[in-house]
Structure 1
């Protein structure tokens, strides 16, 4: 079986692949940012546990929307993945530091 001679670099840098990668970054890395952000907020808000968790979960939707907007506003899809995963890692380090 002979594979066609595809230019893989051009294929990966094509517009549909770029949009798909940004969409996956917005969905999955955005969820990760929202989850770690709300987890950190639940730990640092000085209210009873049930109220701080409720406030953090309500604010997680704004984190998720901000991450999705960020994924489509940066220059490349690689930068979107890098930035969102880095933000999530920093938030997770803060969670470990606080708890």
Structure 2
């Protein structure tokens, strides 16, 4: 009969280490995604400002302002619900498109 060397305790320790590493990796991923979306939002805000200055269509400007407001709400909610940052970027892109369909990306 083979003697048992306490492998169970070792497995539990390894599992805790792996769980800690996994949690750390998830946190790092969240931070990276948050930074990415903040950069994308900043870029879209710049595009919006430039396109807004060029647009002369009053109706499109009003609609774009409403979308910009919606994007700001999504951006605020992104602190609690990270997926809202992606929606903010999408709303800003649509607002820019309303103002200037040929605006450079």
TM-score by length of 1: 0.46
Bigger CA radius of gyration: 2
Q: Bigger relative contact order, structure 1 or 2, given CA contacts below 8 A and separation 6+?
A: 1
TM-score by length of 2: 0.44
